[in-house]
Structure 1
């Protein structure tokens, strides 16, 4: 039984005329594609390609298999389209809500995989500030939405008829200007050592800020917010410029466009939980499919609190 992925590799080399150009077309590295072709040759029991200084050409056996490979791949593609129509994933529109961090770092790979499998579904993405995303799902403005909440923090139950499925939990970490003494030490930084430090923080009503201030207060440490911004990206930029230190979700620290010092905190009790909001029993096949993709992609990278 020939692997369809390897058959597709053979077709790509035949059409591109070289392994490197075929690898670019398929999104492989050239060595990885060569490995797939070598496995296909072992399955076939004969050489399928002849490599030369200008690229690669198929042997007589490769040409024979090429004809069959194209037929097999065409049949599989036709089956995919027929199943798509059967499950309601041919045409239509999928409306997704998200917040900025997820829309920038997490949603694109899942939507890319969805588009490859279901190219006829129109996609739209709208940004919401949590907990507005849950309300948008309840009102039917979007089919599903990514949202978040801080732990510990004030519990915010979803609107009636909307369910939250947790996907990913990330720590809140300390960010500083590069070379700052607080980010240079080994191991985790005791949260109490932030006492008296000039903090760059979100607006006073932001759940993250309230959670950080509550933890500091519980340790008897004073809070010294010196600068506020409603955007984590701006908070990170201000920290990088030396205006203070901040406690932000790890994803924001890793994705910052400005250089930062980063250090984990002790105790590691401050987290942000990212969930998908959806209507149980009321979703479309497209929404259910994307939710499954999100679940598969995010839970592999989840950090348990």
Structure 2
């Protein structure tokens, strides 16, 4: 049986993402003829057409797509083998790249990075901020190793299992209704009733958060009038304090936000909480540096709830 070269998988994934052989070659640091020759040799050796060349670019055939989907897992396995070999040789080194959503940047991420610096000082750890869809796409492209994401039960239908990804739920991040305080404001006994604010002006956030706000209000029988939009939790609280609207904010965002006396924060129902998750390529948890990062993420999960 002809062996499949890991380099071929990387090339196919690059061609898939770039849409052309020349752009894939640039992304990989190869020459265009070298990539074309590699693909031609692989097609002859494997007995399958892997790419379709057209006037508008290059697409992968079904065999090409199948091979490209294996690239992240194969690269993770090779990285694990390299790091295991280094560990046997007494080396303590590695690299892990993390992506996470904004409200994790000031809460979960500092704890993760501090744990990595203390427990895995030989591992170079980097971080980039990205909303969940972008973070997962970075993971699929191999540009990050670990993605911190969130999802909403009301908003997100089950998309099915992605065989290339491993998703682990870290916990629940409760939401709270943030409203201007008034002289007749009383401490809520139960969860916030969104329907009481159906006539209010609402402050929305990122598309994903705004979508959850729409779904949450729809479950309460109304459509919110979203008149202001910002992803900055401190700005949201400031707008609420000025009497310009009401908002739903996750507890992680409120942890590092100063809430002035003119603002009331009321816990929302548990059904509105978002799930916080960590995502890696399937097989990447065998890589020592990624395994250490996952341990650090689990250690930071106590900040939820």
Confirm or deny that 1:115 pairs with 2:117.
Answer: yes
Confirm or deny that 1:282 pairs with 2:275.
Answer: no
**1:253 aligned partner:** 254
Q: How far apart are 1:179 and its partner, in Å? A: 4.5
**1:211 aligned partner:** 212
**1:291 aligned partner:** 294
Aligned 1:1-305 pairs, distance under 5 A? 85-86=87-88, 90-155=92-157, 157=159, 160-179=163-182, 184-202=187-205, 206-259=207-260, 260-265=263-268, 267-283=269-285, 284-298=287-301, 300-303=302-305
1:186, 1:224 → 2: CA distance?
A: 26
CA distances 1:210-268 after superposition (whole Å, capped 9, x unpaired): 23323323433342223222444432332233211101112212321352421013x43
For the structure 1 residues 87 and 237, does the alpha-carbon distance in structure 2 shift closer, same or farther, using more than 3 Å as the test?
A: farther
Q: Is the 2:168–2:278 Cα contact (8 Å) retained in structure 1? A: yes
Q: Is the 1:134–1:159 Cα contact (8 Å) retained in structure 2? A: no
1:135, 1:180 → 2: CA distance?
A: 48
Q: How far apart are 1:302 and its partner, in Å? A: 4.7
Q: How far apart are 1:144 and its partner, in Å? A: 0.8
Q: How far apart are 1:116 and its partner, in Å? A: 1.1
Kindly name which structure, 1 or 2, has the bigger radius of gyration based on alpha carbons.
1
Q: Is the 2:171–2:276 Cα contact (8 Å) retained in structure 1? A: yes
Q: How far apart are 1:125 and its partner, in Å? A: 0.7
**2:13 aligned partner:** none
2:104, 2:267 → 1: CA distance?
A: 21
Q: Is the 2:233–2:254 Cα contact (8 Å) retained in structure 1? A: no
Q: How far apart are 1:271 and its partner, in Å? A: 1.3
Instruction: Normalising by structure 1, report the TM-score.
Output: 0.63
For the structure 1 residues 222 and 119, does the alpha-carbon distance in structure 2 shift closer, same or farther, using more than 3 Å as the test?
A: closer
Q: Using CA pairs below 8 Å that are at least 6 residues apart, which structure has the higher relative contact order?
A: 2
Instruction: Normalising by structure 2, report the TM-score.
Output: 0.63
**2:32 aligned partner:** none
Q: Give the secondary structure class of the aligned counterpart of 1:131.
A: helix
Q: Is the 2:107–2:255 Cα contact (8 Å) retained in structure 1? A: no
2:87, 2:252 → 1: CA distance?
A: 37
Q: Give the secondary structure class of the aligned counterpart of 2:209.
A: helix
2:101, 2:191 → 1: CA distance?
A: 29
Q: How far apart are 1:189 and its partner, in Å? A: 2.5
**2:81 aligned partner:** none
Mark the runs of 5 or more structure 2 residues left unpaired by the alignment.
1-85
